[in-house]
Amino acid sequence: MPTAKRVFLLLVLLSSAVAAAPWAHAGTCESLIHLKLPDTTITLAKLETTETYKPGKIETQGPPLTDLPAFCRVAAEIRSTSDSRIKFEIWMPTSGWNGRFMGVGNGGWSGEIWYPFMGTALRDHYATASTDTGHEGSFRDASFALGHPEKLVDFEYRAVHEMTIKAKAIIAAYYGEAPKFSYWDGCSSGGREGLVEAQRFPKDYDGIIAGAPANNWVPLMASGVWIWQANHDGDARVLSRDKLKVLHQGALDACDLLDGVKDGVIGNPQSCRFDPQVLRCKGEANANCLTGPEVEAADKIYQGPKNPRTGERIFPGLEPGSELKWWMFGDGDDPAIVGSYFGYLVFKDSGWKAARLNFDSDIALAEKLNGRELSANDPNLGEFFAEGGKVILYHGLTDPIIAPQNTIDYYRRVSRESGARAEASVRLFLAPGMDHCFGGAGPSTFDARKSLVDWVEQSKAPEMILAAHPPDRPGAAREPDKTRPLCA
């Protein structure tokens, strides 16, 4: 064979080998600063390690940013319109990349990149990205959208989609190949973001984890205000945290043993027939019973918001067993996350107060203004399923923020819409004793990512996920003090 031809074939073989190896870099990390992408400016491209990476102030609570493997950190800004400025970061392991991309979701109105959860994905050898959803600000605060409709569009869907497209391009530029599979992992607003992706952009992700999704936006906002109103008489709070403990113990006394195990967890709250009337004070009010107004407040929160004119349910109520954290919407002068929505996005009034909400006309107005755009409630996931997409939904049954029945209802509507295809493509896992996204008296830590990967890549549909409960004692060993299977 002529020498020139042998050299050519050798170069072809070497090029193929480099392209196939997931750890082979097409360019240096620093060279990505010059990468040109539509509407995008890369502002940082730097090799980082646990020693060099120093996160700034992070409002998001999550896993510690320690023991990170060496990674290429890229920060970028996307300007889709003149009033749109979407920031995101992508972290790519310098060695051992598993060939996958993991998008990480946000919570509330979060206007920051969720670094702690990027760290978890990075340690599992994913290339991972997160966005500030197009604005800077607290997860409690929707003021960014007042007078800025393009920023609201960013929050609704554009930021995550644009981040996803650009992140895949950056991965391809760094490794010399696109990710073989792309996954989404988010809870609460991050769960909503995942369902938005499945509904609007079915080619973006192969698999989506949507925990406690805030997908039914206006009714959810109404639910938070309902809880706040139920627990307030003027400026006075009705159910103190001490009385919530009394109420919670009453629910446990009535229903803890329904599953045959006394463990401080109600296994199936939907089967619990607890009536707070049994705790009503028989004589003088005292610390161990509930007054009439306290019983009435509890009843309203269990029932959930209703339209006062038609009696129609607006959103499900919270479940027995969730009482200890009802203060999350029940304390303070105003319920920040939900009050911020009505104040800034519905009434355009920074001084709006939750006590003024009308659960008939005001809810109708909110739905008309932006209810469809902010929600991810479409049960038709046919295009996503046709692409081979899989969805894992999960919800803690003691969630005090988003009633778990909302996710159950959505799952049932998806199943009715797509029938056998849904049965092959979506699973719902309910976690007894788990609060909002994490924590609670029941096992609440589990590896949904591995289950999703096995499902997408090996067609192993998850029928059970093992959940663990870490010990609450400070300084205790990290081995779980209890575990339980979560069944699909």
Task: Report the C-alpha dihedral over residues 367, 368, 369, 374, rounded to 10 degrees.
Answer: 40
Q: E strands, 54-211, where?
A: 71-78, 86-93, 100-104, 127-131, 181-187, 207-211
Give the distance from CA 428 to its chain's centroid.
15
Query: Residue 28 contacts by C-beta under 8 Å, 6 or more apart in sequence?
Result: none
CA 136 to chain centre: 18
| 398, 377, 114, 145: CA torsion to nearest 10 | -110
Catalytic, 399? Answer: yes
Among 188, 340, 418, 425, the active-site one is 188
**Active-site annotation holder among 135, 399, 425, 451:** 399
Is 334 strand, coil or helix?
Answer: coil
Judged by DSSP in three states, 104 sits in strand
Residue type (1 letter), 316 = P
Q: Report whether 335 contacts 268 (CB < 8 A).
A: no
Overall size of the chain counted in residues? 488
Pairing of strands 390-396, 426-431: parallel
Active site residue 240: no
Helix axes 292-303, 217-230, angle to 10 degrees: 170
Handedness of CA 378, 383, 384, 385 (dihedral sign): positive
Catalytic one among 436, 444, 451, 469?
436
Is 256 assigned a catalytic role? no
Q: How far apart are CA 236 and CA 408, in angstroms?
A: 34
CA 287 distance to own-chain centroid: 37
Q: Which residues are catalytic?
A: 188, 399, 436
